Amino acid sequence: MTTSKHTKIIKRALAVAFTLAFAFWLLNQQQWAELPAMLERLPASALGLAVAGFFLSYLLRTARVFDEFRHESHVRFGACLRVVLLHNAAVNIVPFRGGEAAFPVLLGKLFGTPLTRALASLFWFRFQDALVVAVVAVMVWPGLPLVLRLAGAALLIAFAWALPRWARRPHRPSGKGRLARLREAFAESVRHARFGWLWTIANWSVKLAAQAWLLAALLETTMNTGAAGALGAELAAFLPVQGVAGFGTYEAGAAAALLPNGVNLADGLRAALALHLFVIACSVSAGIIAALLPGIRPTAKPSEAESDSEKV
């Protein structure tokens, strides 16, 4: 057995153990009994606003995908929306981040996008997500001096500026090797995304605000406290070990971020669980709707579009 396979098995075992420990805590402490009461106190207006926020977030993510592939004549916004909704549902329910595979598969099926191009696009999106969340976390981290906040944010922004330029830098095309092909595909993703960073910042602003609003309503606390919990939950998604479908790590991240704001661990975990169930319900519902709608097909095959452009 290779070292990578051995490491993967250990990570998955830890993920299952963490999720089981969280489930045991819920059952043993009878936290499920208090969850319905918390949900009953939730105003319908807060729930409706959170749903609207998540729907807007889906549209912003779709705009980011469409912005990158807009130059291909067979790509339409509706088809991009379907890709985003199905991919988002898969990421939220398939264990061990296996749902990420839905993105390149759907791009290949609907648009005929080559695998290396689709993987590079996915990497570029996740890279942008991670950088935006990391900058927000550094700027609001409790107890961190202002100088360190600014220095950390500057380093992250510099890295975000340098990586795409490295990919686009002239280099000798080898034509062989996975790294060379991915670099060329990554450069293609960066080159065609005009407003990628704007879409990413807008998406995370709306997404974090919606989660913060709902978490604040569940805990009957301030928006600042809800924002801390929402950010902690999202930061947990970048941990090397994740709970099964995120259960356990998501709640722990949110509860840990809520502690400095005076929310005890039990209340924080319970509210984070309610928020997590809401996130999954929204993503799965949207994914089911996207799957049931009539298939959105390209208006022209990639080869046909290319031949038509050559005739002009």
d(CA 87, CA 151): 35
Residues 135, 153: contact at Cβ < 8 Å? yes
At residue 256, the pLDDT reads 94
Map residue 238 onto helix, strand or coil. Answer: coil
Tokens of 293: 């709608």
Q: Is residue 305 part of a domain?
A: yes
Which one-letter amino acid corresponds to residue 203? N
Helix 178-192 and helix 44-69: axis angle, to 10°?
110
Residues 258, 230: contact at Cβ < 8 Å? no
The structural domain count of the chain equals 1
Residues 135, 157: contact at Cβ < 8 Å? yes
Q: Tens of pLDDT along 96-112?
A: 788 999 999 999 998 99
d(CA 192, CA 311): 23
Output 9-18 pairs: Cβ under 8 A, ≥24 positions apart. Answer: 11/240, 11/241, 12/96, 14/241, 15/95, 15/96, 15/241, 15/242, 15/243, 15/244, 16/244, 18/241, 18/243, 18/248, 18/249
At residue 305, the pLDDT reads 40
At residue 56, the pLDDT reads 97
d(CA 243, CA 233): 12
Query: CB burial class (10 A; 0-12, 13-18, 19+) of residue 142?
Result: exposed
At residue 311, the pLDDT reads 37
Residues 299, 73: contact at Cβ < 8 Å? yes
Q: Is residue 13 part of a domain?
A: no
Q: Is residue 275 part of a domain?
A: yes
Q: Is residue 33 part of a domain?
A: no
At residue 235, the pLDDT reads 93
Q: Tens of pLDDT along 5-27?
A: 777 788 778 878 878 888 877 77
At residue 210, the pLDDT reads 96
Could you tell me the residue range of the domain that residue 267 belongs to? 54-311
d(CA 73, CA 61): 20
Low-confidence residues of the chain: pLDDT under 70: 1-4, 29-33, 73, 170-179, 181-182, 294-312
Q: Which of 67, 62, 79, 71 is nearest to 299 (CA)?
A: 79
Predicted TM-score of the model (pTM): 0.84
Q: Is residue 27 part of a domain?
A: no
At residue 135, the pLDDT reads 95
Q: Is residue 91 part of a domain?
A: yes
Q: Is residue 30 part of a domain?
A: no
At residue 100, the pLDDT reads 93
d(CA 215, CA 209): 10
Q: Is residue 84 part of a domain?
A: yes
Q: Tens of pLDDT along 136-187?
A: 999 988 888 999 999 999 999 999 888 888 877 766 655 556 667 667 777 7
